[in-house]
Amino acid sequence: MNGYRIRTAEERDIDRLTELDALCFSMPWSREAFHQELCENPLAFYMVLESEDNVIGYAGLWMILSEGHITNVAVEPAMRRKGLAELLLRELFQQAGDRGIQRFTLEVRPSNVAANGLYEKLGFVVMGRRKQYYEDNGEDALILWRG
Ligand SMILES: CC(C)(COP(=O)(O)OP(=O)(O)OC[C@H]1O[C@@H](n2cnc3c(N)ncnc32)[C@H](O)[C@@H]1OP(=O)(O)O)[C@@H](O)C(=O)NCCC(=O)NCCS
C-alpha cells in the first residue's frame, strides 16, 4: 500500500507506542512494559506501521519455539478500516515465518467485533476460551490459532 512503511520497532518508539496504546486499549501498557518488551525480552518481536514518519500502528508477538504468541495489535482510531492492521499482521507473519514461526495464537475479547473480524479474515479459528480472563470487566478470552 502506498505511503505506508512497516519496520521493526526500536527503543525510540517507546513514547509513541505508550501514547498509542492509551488511545486504543481499556488496559493500556505502561512505558515500562514497552521498555521491557522492546529492550529486555529476548522472545519479543514488534513491528510498527508508519505514515509520513508518524507511527500509527503496531503489532508484536513472543516467539516460543515454533509458535508466535501475538501480544498486541493496534491502529490509531482515525486510521482504521483502511486495511492497515491486515497489512501489518501479514508482514508480521512473514517476518516471524522467516524466523521459524509456524503457528500463531492470541487471546481476544468476544465483544471486540473489529478484532474478531480481523482475525477471522486472516484465518484464525477459535480453539478455546479462558474464563474471566480480563481483569477490568471479568470478560472471558477466546483463544484463537492460525496455521
Ligand atoms: C482491531 C484493529 C487493530 C483493526 O484495525 P484496522 O486497521 O481498522 O483493521 P483493517 O482495516 O485492517 O481490517 C481488516 C479486516 O478486519 C475486519 N474488521 C476491522 N474492523 C472491523 C470492524 N469495526 N467491524 C467488523 N470487522 C472489522 C474486517 O474483516 C476487515 O476487512 P474488510 O475491511 O475487508 O472488511 C483496530 O480496530 C484497533 O486498533 N482496535 C483497538 C485495539 C484492539 O482491540 N486490538 C486487538 C486486541 S486483541
**pLDDT at position 138 over 90:** yes
Shortest-distance Cα residue to atom 41 of ligand 1: 24
* pLDDT recorded at residue 54: 96
Rounded CA gap, 17 and 47, in Å?
Answer: 11
Rounded CA gap, 137 and 57, in Å?
Answer: 25
Q: Which of 70, 69, 59, 68 has the alpha carbon at shortest distance from 21?
A: 59
| Pair type for strands 67-75 and 103-108 | parallel
CA distances from 9 to 52, 60, 80, 95, 106 (A): 16, 9, 20, 13, 20
Q: Measured in angstroms, how far is the CA atom of residue 117 from the centroid of ligand 1?
A: 6
Ligand 1 atom nearest the C-alpha of 81 is 11
Range 4-103 has CATH code 1.10.3720.10 = no
Backbone φ and ψ for 63, nearest 5 degrees, come out as -100, 105
Shortest-distance Cα residue to atom 44 of ligand 1: 115
Which residues approach ligand 1 with their CB closer than 6 A?
A: 24-25, 73-75, 80-86, 108, 112-115, 117-118, 121
Higher model confidence: residue 13 or residue 53?
13
Q: Which of 29, 8, 6, 33 has the alpha carbon at shortest distance from 19?
A: 29
Q: Measured in angstroms, how far is the CA atom of residue 81 from the centroid of ligand 1?
A: 6
**pLDDT at position 1 over 90:** no
Element (H, E) at 105: strand 103-108
CA distances from 114 to 36, 73, 79 (A): 28, 11, 13
Domain range annotation of the chain = 4-103
Contact in structure between 58 and 46 (CB atoms under 8 Å)? yes
At 68, list the grid cell: 508466535
**pTM reported for the whole predicted model:** 0.97
Rounded CA gap, 68 and 46, in Å?
Answer: 12
Q: How confident is the model at residue 94 (pLDDT cuts 50, 70, 90)?
A: very high
* pLDDT recorded at residue 119: 98
Question: Catalytic one among 107, 133, 134, 139?
Answer: 107
